[in-house]
Amino acid sequence: MSLKMSHFVYDECEVTGIWHNMGQGCRLLIARARNPKYMKLIAALRKPHEREIDMGTLSDTNVTEILVKGMARTILLDWEGLADADGKDIPHSIDNCEALLRDYEEFRVEVGELSADNDRYRSDKIREDAETLGNVSSGASDSGSLSKSSIPQSGATTRRAGG
């Protein structure tokens, strides 16, 4: 059997997102990493730092800020049932999204890993899942992490590193 080129076609949900069940009544609406909106925004956010990036001197703080801003605006699109330490619901907003992604590294990693699972966003995979599950999608999560090199460059692939 041959690999069909349709395997490399992404559904509109790569930009509009897929709901992922995180447990305890929490769901996250996550778009695919490297979707067109994300890539365009990351390119703009990288622009003022091109010299530092080329020289390999971009600080970890700036790397995190670029990732956080890109993810908050184009990847973590919404949530339900996300609460603070006191159990008070946190409303979704860009500011809240940036704060959570910046302040909770493991949360940022989890969102990054879910968004990087390309199979979830492929048109053929979505059709197959819909047929198998009767138009119901699951929101299982993966584990792993994003590395400093995760700020994509035009034409580059996002690298994933453990730990």
pLDDT value of residue 155 = 36
Between 119 and 108, name the one with better pLDDT.
Answer: 108
Q: What is the mean pLDDT of residues 107-111?
A: 97
How far is C-alpha 31 from the chain's CA centre? 6
Q: What is the 3-state secondary structure (H, E, C) of the chain?
A: CCCCHHHHCECCHHHHCEEEEEECCEEEEECCCCCHHHHHHHHHHHHHHHHHHHHCCCCHHHHHHHHHHHHHHHCEEEEECCECCCCCECCCCHHHHHHHHHHCHHHHHHHHHHHHCHHHHEHHHHHHHHHHHCCCCCCCCCCCCECHHHCCCCCCCCCECCC
pLDDT of 87-105, one tens digit each?
Answer: 999 999 999 999 999 999 9
pLDDT at 148 over 70: no
pLDDT value of residue 60 = 94
pLDDT value of residue 139 = 40
Q: What is the mean pLDDT of residues 140-150?
A: 35
Considering the entire predicted model, what is its pTM? Answer: 0.72
pLDDT band for position 153 (cuts 50, 70, 90): very low
**Whole-Å CA distances, 132 to 14, 33, 120:** 21, 25, 14
pLDDT value of residue 160 = 29
By mean pLDDT, which of 39-43, 47-51, 84-88, 124-128 is the weakest?
Answer: 124-128
Q: What is the mean pLDDT of residues 28-57?
A: 95
Burial (CB count within 10 angstroms: exposed 0-12, middle 13-18, buried 19+), residue 86: exposed
CA R_g for the chain: 16
Q: Cα(134)–Cα(120) distance, rounded to whole angstroms?
A: 16
Between 6 and 142, name the one with better pLDDT.
Answer: 6
